[in-house]
Amino acid sequence: MSSVRNARVLFNSHPESYPIPGETIVYDTTKTIDLQSIPLNGGFLIKTLVLSVDPFLRYRMNPGVDDHMGSFRIGAPLDGFGIGVVLRSETPEVQAGESLNNSIWTVFQEYTVYPALGELQILKKHPKLPLSVYLGAAGMPGQTAYLGWKAYADAKPGEVAFVTTGAGAVGSIVIQLAKQAGMKVIASAGSEEKVEFMRSLGADVAFNYKTTDTRKILEKEGPINVFWDHIGGEITDAGIEFAADGARILSVGYISGLNSSTGWPQIKKFHLVGLKSLHIHGILVTPLLEIPGYLEEFYEVMPRKLVSGEIKYVEDLTMGLDQVGEVMLAVLKGTNKGKAVVVVAEE
Amino acid sequence: MSSVRNARVLFNSHPESYPIPGETIVYDTTKTIDLQSIPLNGGFLIKTLVLSVDPFLRYRMNPGVDDHMGSFRIGAPLDGFGIGVVLRSETPEVQAGESLNNSIWTVFQEYTVYPALGELQILKKHPKLPLSVYLGAAGMPGQTAYLGWKAYADAKPGEVAFVTTGAGAVGSIVIQLAKQAGMKVIASAGSEEKVEFMRSLGADVAFNYKTTDTRKILEKEGPINVFWDHIGGEITDAGIEFAADGARILSVGYISGLNSSTGWPQIKKFHLVGLKSLHIHGILVTPLLEIPGYLEEFYEVMPRKLVSGEIKYVEDLTMGLDQVGEVMLAVLKGTNKGKAVVVVAEE
């Protein structure tokens, strides 16, 4: 019986604003694990392969998060979306060698014993898609984009869409869905490189929100019929102000408030919701997956379109569990490119 | 040829807060009209019978309203929903003796020559319903309640509804629709008399928002699945805060901002829209009427239910065009009871 290192990423302190690698979250190598003899007690042992680094992890670093996700506990490892491979199993429906993915309870450590399948799913991978894509375009972000759009965009040819964080894992897919629906697409992101990327995806009007006033663009290129809103606050107000009558607003996160401990930005234009007969839909992936037929359609359509190139995706892979803090910071500051994934180990 | 008085209600000045009868709007009797000889130029002459006094009239008293309704013009008569009878017609599709209703362009004066049918509709009245009901439960407020609920409430038995201004023309119908859908109904209004009325309509929890904290009621009786919101501002925030995951919020006007010239109350809890996967629908009657089959269903179902008593309604009739200013103030201060209608002339 020999033990190996079981490195972890621990939540260490509540951040005031941006999390600080090495302080807010700490890479810890003090633990070991005996892979052959650790008792499974009817569960199974997973070797973590890839982990997804998402903005909502920052939200869970706030104290007092009382929704279904909950706050991270100080001294405990982070958890989120990830994929691992089964090393040993005493659970009948789980076999060694299988990959398991997509639970937000994937623990950010190298090896973990899970007591039961729970919210983990057995992954049926397309042979031509890398595993990491199942954390991005073929995973939760792809599901958010494809199924959220399907359920609530009500897109019509010739209408105008506005997509924020259009170079991100979700937004980059939404741009392509909007173009394929025959819409004119306005898209924003935070660097010239991302603006170029959004143009390459088909965005008709792509701009850098750091150097160009979003309201001026919408005033000139709107009114908008579908608004894919990742930002919240002032940008939501701009979208409401320049929305066409009957427009659909998909509220997918609220980045403008994520790194603030002083509260969430307010909305000043809400009275226009009634006056313009707007429809606002808060988008979470879980309720979308519960709509009958939706997840089946996603796995039927999306991996095929990703392999064929009909829908393009970009990944930003970083090697090493010790890099989670830096990658988290890059995601929150918007300096990463494409879906941020940390590769913990090779298959 | 003899002329008769053609009294009017003129918009006279922009109100700072509540409109002041005799100052903001003025009853004017200086004009006359010769009913037999006034040229129709291909149009028709209407005698106004009943006029609806609605909160949105206050909105149009603000300067710079640039949506489809527009600001009232100083020195011109008000216009809104009303019903009149045709006295003379040179328009082929309009016959003398017919009633015309439901245009927001009904001019607030005793007699008006209209150039064409435009948005006016020929009224096919149920023989057992008074004409005035076609301005209330069988008219625009009834359509707002019945069709808005049908389109967006997605009501399920056992769920919880919260209805604001539950004693009003729209809210009182919504309470009954929610009960008939098998929901638990929380309802608020601004007097003990209205609270009693809401109880008589079936509300399970009825309270006076002036003496009872809405948030405390929702905390105790919620979370809420459907929120019929006439108020905006703090009450919208309370509804969002105590909304169940996936709740539907129908935003039907924004009374909290109507009498303010200092701006519309802000929304502080909008970030929860995404986190709780809420669905917010701005309700205007016009887009509802354009949904195929909706208006037909309304006229098929609603007058029958009103006559049978399956849906109850209360009217607040005031005699005389000179009373419009006082009735407007009562509507905005919430001191009226039931749908406010001014009777200009008997049929």
- From B115's Cα to the closest Cα of chain A, the distance in A is 28
Pairing of strands A99-101, A121-122: antiparallel
CB B42 within 8 A of CB B91: yes
CB contact residues (below 8 A), chain A span 288-347, against chain B: none
Mean of all residue pLDDT scores within chain B:
92
Residue B104 has pLDDT above 60, yes or no: no
- Cβ contact B266–A271 (<8 Å): no
CATH superfamily of A140-287: NAD(P)-binding Rossmann-like Domain (3.40.50.720)
Question: What pLDDT shows up at residue A255?
Answer: 77
Question: Does the domain formed by A4-136+314-343 have CATH 3.40.190.80?
Answer: no
**Nearest Cβ partner of A277 from B254, B266, B287?**
B287
DSSP state of B85: E
- Cβ contact B268–A264 (<8 Å): yes
State how far the Cα of A2 lies from the Cα of A70, in Å rounded to an integer.
36
- From B66's Cα to the closest Cα of chain A, the distance in A is 11
pLDDT digits (tens, 9 = 90+) for B241-263: 999 999 999 999 777 776 666 67
- Cβ contact A267–B266 (<8 Å): yes
Domains B4-136+314-343 and B140-287 share a fold: no
Q: Report the residue of B270, B283, B290 to disrupt the A interface, i.e. the one with the largest count of A CBs within 10 Å.
A: B270
> A245: which chain B residues are within 8 Å (Cβ-Cβ)?
68, 287
- Cβ contact B275–A282 (<8 Å): yes
State how far the Cα of B49 lies from the Cα of B102, in Å rounded to an integer.
12
pLDDT digits (tens, 9 = 90+) for B173-188: 999 999 999 999 999 9
pLDDT digits (tens, 9 = 90+) for A75-124: 999 999 999 999 999 999 888 888 777 655 689 999 999 988 887 888 88
**Nearest Cβ partner of A277 from B267, B279, B284?**
B284
Output the six-digit token pair for B107: 């001019």
Q: Report the residue of A273, A284, A290 to disrupt the B interface, i.e. the one with the largest count of B CBs within 10 Å.
A: A273
DSSP state of A21: B
Question: What pLDDT shows up at residue B299?
Answer: 94
Question: What pLDDT shows up at residue A105?
Answer: 65
Vertex B227, ends A246 and B137: CA angle to 5°? Answer: 75
pLDDT band at B122 (very low <50, low <70, confident <90, very high): confident
> A275: which chain B residues are within 8 Å (Cβ-Cβ)?
67, 254, 282, 284
Pairing of strands A44-52, A339-343: antiparallel
> B272: which chain A residues are within 8 Å (Cβ-Cβ)?
282
DSSP state of A73: P
pLDDT digits (tens, 9 = 90+) for A304-331: 999 999 999 989 999 999 999 999 999 9
> B232: which chain A residues are within 8 Å (Cβ-Cβ)?
270-271, 274
The segments of chain A whose pLDDT lies below 50 read none
Residue in B closest to A263 by C-alpha: B268
State how far the Cα of B99 lies from the Cα of B346, in Å rounded to an integer.
13
Question: What pLDDT shows up at residue B292?
Answer: 96
Question: What pLDDT shows up at residue B44?
Answer: 93
- Cβ contact A282–B281 (<8 Å): no
> A65: which chain B residues are within 8 Å (Cβ-Cβ)?
none
Residue B164 has pLDDT above 70, yes or no: yes
Residue in B closest to A231 by C-alpha: B271
pLDDT digits (tens, 9 = 90+) for B299-332: 999 999 999 999 999 899 999 999 999 999 999 8
Name the residue among A258, A259, A315, A340 with its Cα closest to residue A80: A340
> B251: which chain A residues are within 8 Å (Cβ-Cβ)?
270, 273-274
Q: How far is CA B258 from CA B2, B164, B231, in A?
A: 43, 16, 9
Strands (E), chain A: 4-5, 8-11, 25-28, 32-33, 44-52, 79-80, 82-89, 99-101, 106-107, 111-114, 121-122, 160-163, 184-189, 205-208, 224-229, 243-251, 279-282, 315-319, 339-343
Q: Report the residue of A248, A250, A275 to disrupt the B interface, i.e. the one with the largest count of B CBs within 10 Å.
A: A275
- From A334's Cα to the closest Cα of chain B, the distance in A is 20
Q: Report the residue of A271, A284, A288 to disrupt the B interface, i.e. the one with the largest count of B CBs within 10 Å.
A: A271
pLDDT band at B66 (very low <50, low <70, confident <90, very high): confident
For residue B85, which amino acid is it? V
- Cβ contact B67–A277 (<8 Å): no
Question: What pLDDT shows up at residue A259?
Answer: 64
State how far the Cα of A138 lies from the Cα of A83, in Å rounded to an integer.
13
Residue B103 has pLDDT above 60, yes or no: no
Neighbour-count burial of B182, counting CB atoms closer than 10 A to its CB (0-12 exposed, 13-18 middle, 19+ buried): exposed
- From B152's Cα to the closest Cα of chain A, the distance in A is 10
Question: What pLDDT shows up at residue B256?
Answer: 75
Q: How far is CA B275 from CA A66, A184, B241, B347, in A?
A: 11, 29, 11, 55
Output the six-digit token pair for A226: 């579908």
CB B269 within 8 A of CB B247: no
- Cβ contact A284–B274 (<8 Å): yes
- From B243's Cα to the closest Cα of chain A, the distance in A is 12
- Cβ contact A266–B271 (<8 Å): no
Report the complex ipTM: 0.85
Domain positions in chain B are: 4-136+314-343, 140-287
**Nearest Cβ partner of A280 from B263, B273, B284?**
B273
CB contact residues (below 8 A), chain B span 252-291, against chain A: 252-254, 257, 263-264, 266-284, 286-287
For residue A27, which amino acid is it? Y
- Cβ contact A254–B274 (<8 Å): yes
In this complex, how many residue pairs, one in chain A and one in chain B, have their CB atoms less than 8 Å apart? 107
